[in-house]
Structure 1
Amino acid sequence: MSQFWESNFIEKQKIWGDAATDLAVDAADLFMREGLSNILIPGFGYGRNAMEFIKRNIKVTGIEISQTAIKLAQDHFSNETKIHHGSVAQMPFDDTKYDGVFCHALLHLLEEDERKHCIDQSYRHLTKGGLMYFTVISSLDSAFENGEKIGHNRFQSPHGVNLFFYDESAIANEFEAYGLIEAQERQEPLIPKAGSKGQRFWKVLCRKEQ
């Protein structure tokens, strides 16, 4: 997967533009209301979502598999924003405790053992009372069953990307052991652009026990 994303960022640079996702704005608002001040973002990309947290005076540390994406991010972030280069499958990269984790549209790209590792390590990074906010693609998304089936709820897209689509059972199976407090389906963006269906995600919130 490393080469896939590196090639995409080299060719397309800021693939998704500069604007943050609506789900990232929702997470940043929630984290601000909760008084969080230091968070980890696995799957940092070039930082379009991270800016929403920084605007709210929340310190951000990232993990990103693409060196090109990191270079793009460094054009917009100060040296105070640390970005670890590597896969989330290699976590942990440090022993820092964070009071929040935000991970958007990453887990469903991973193998089952990698998903479990990312969730587990994110939880281990949390301070007591800290929040994890994951977004994962839903089995109600229009891309479900579009492509070659390679496993339960798992398909290879026409572009060659392996996707695991989450339903309620998968959410419970992967997150209940990590303080699951909320799971709801969301449209991204909230108001799709003309000619676009947008995507269906699960918003998954977990809180580490006090």
Structure 2
Amino acid sequence: MPEDNQEAEAAASYWERRFAAEGMIWGGAPSPTAAHASALFRSEGVRTVWVPGAGYGRNTKALSEEFQVSGTEISASAVELARDWDPRSDIRQGSILEPQEGEREVDGVFCYDVIHLFLAGDRGRLARQIRRRLRPGGVLYLTCFSDEDVNCGRGEQREPGTFVYKPGKTAHFFAFGELQELFPGFEVMEEAHITEALPGPEGLHSYRLRIWAARAGSRSAAE
């Protein structure tokens, strides 16, 4: 089995165990980036939004107040939680790396803290799925671990910029320009940083995130 497939299966098992055991892991409050993305989507006339790695709906609930939101989530337990927490959004179980039955083209994609969880091959697969789902001229709003985060460079290096930064936790830390390489043909609208604190078993932990917003070009330009 290819290494990326093994990694994806291990990640799916990890998240199912966590959501089944811990429920709403990060609480009910959305990330501040959900409001930031909503303002950008609003200004760009976005009506439909896809959220890959939607979890239990922590962020989709904020987005679905204004937009028609669909989401894809690998964990069945998280999807069950989302149906109660955010009934306005259509969140379905499935892999964000593969086409899903009944999917539709959307005006916007909100990809929050997901793409850094994969090795290079699967980061490319996710980027291709986003390009395929997002209409030309649509808006991608993406957050990921930044190479400015204190964990960058800690632990075993799996690939360039990718580290086992704590036991059982592998992540890629994105440098400036890397996301443009993953999304050729996209017009960068904004690239910025935010420090965000999330609750965990040992209390609040701060992460340095890279925010990247871009407008999709024609699909032929991305090939």
Q: What TM-score comes out, normalization by structure 1 length?
A: 0.89
Q: Distance in 1 between matches of 2:124 and 2:52?
A: 14
Change in 2 beyond 3 A, CA 1:62/1:109 = same
**What is residue 192 of structure 1 aligned with on the other side?**
none
> Is the 2:107–2:135 Cα contact (8 Å) retained in structure 1?
yes
> Which range moved further: 179-188 or 110-119?
179-188
| 8 A Cα contact 2:97 2:129, kept in partner | no
Match of residue 154 from structure 1: 162
User: Does 2:210 match 1:202?
Assistant: yes
Inter-partner Cα distance in structure 2 for 1:70 and 1:196: 25
Letter of the 1:40 partner, please give it: W
Aligned mates of 1:199, 1:14 — CA distance in 2 = 19
Quick check: 1:102–1:133 contact (8 Å CA) kept in 2? yes
1:95–1:48 distance in 2 versus 1, CA, 3 Å: closer
Cα offset, 1:91, TM superposition: 2.9
Deviates more, 1:57-66 or 1:153-162: 153-162
Distance apart, 1:87 and its partner CA: 1.8
What's the TM-score once normalised by structure 2's chain length? 0.84
Instruction: Judge which range, 197-206 or 40-49, deviates more.
Output: 197-206
Is the contact between residue 53 and residue 96 of structure 2 (CA under 8 Å) also seen in structure 1? Answer: yes
* 2:74 is the alignment partner of 1:65: yes
2:37 matched to which residue of 1? Answer: 27
Q: Bigger CA drift: 195-204 or 8-17?
A: 195-204
Residue 143 of structure 2 aligns to a residue whose secondary structure is strand
Query: Residue 172 of structure 2 is aligned with which of 152, 159, 164?
Result: 164
Partner of 2:150: 142
- The residue number in structure 1 matching 2:90 is 82
Residue 180 of structure 1: CA displacement?
3.1
Amino acid at match of 2:131: Y
Question: Which segments of 5 or more consecutive residues in structure 2 lack a partner in the other structure?
Answer: 1-10, 198-202, 219-223
Give the structure 2 partner of residue 3 of structure 1: 13
Say which SS state the counterpart of residue 181 (structure 1) adopts: strand
Instruction: Give me the whole-angstrom Cα distance separating, in 1, the residues matched to 2:75 and 2:215.
Output: 29
Give me the CA root mean square deviation.
1.9
Secondary structure, in 3 states, of the residue corresponding to 1:141?
Answer: coil
Identity %: 30
CA distance in 1, matches of 2:208, 2:37: 16
The Cα shift of 1:93 comes to 4.1
Q: Which deviates further from its counterpart, 195-204 or 111-120?
A: 195-204
Q: Which runs of 4+ in 1 moved over 4 A?
A: none
Q: Deviations over 1:36-90 (max 9, x none)?
A: 11110001000010111112x2010000010000001111233x53222122122
> Which residue does the alignment assign to 2:221?
none
* Cα distance between partner residues in 2 of 1:61 and 1:197: 29
**Counterpart AA for 1:73:** A
Query: CA distance change for structure 1 residues 23 and 174 in 2, over 3 Å: closer, same or farther?
Result: same
Give distance in 2, aligned partners of 1:35 and 1:201. Answer: 26
2:94–2:100 contact (8 Å) kept in structure 1: no
Rounded Cα–Cα distance in structure 2 between residues aligned with 1:72 and 1:196: 23
Q: Which residue of 2 aligns with 1:182?
A: 190
What is the count of residue pairs matched by the alignment? 203
Amino acid in structure 2 at the alignment position of 1:65: I
Moved more, 120-129 or 136-145: 120-129
Q: Which residue in 2 is equivalent to 1:124?
A: 132
Partners of 1:209 and 1:136 lie apart in 2 by: 22
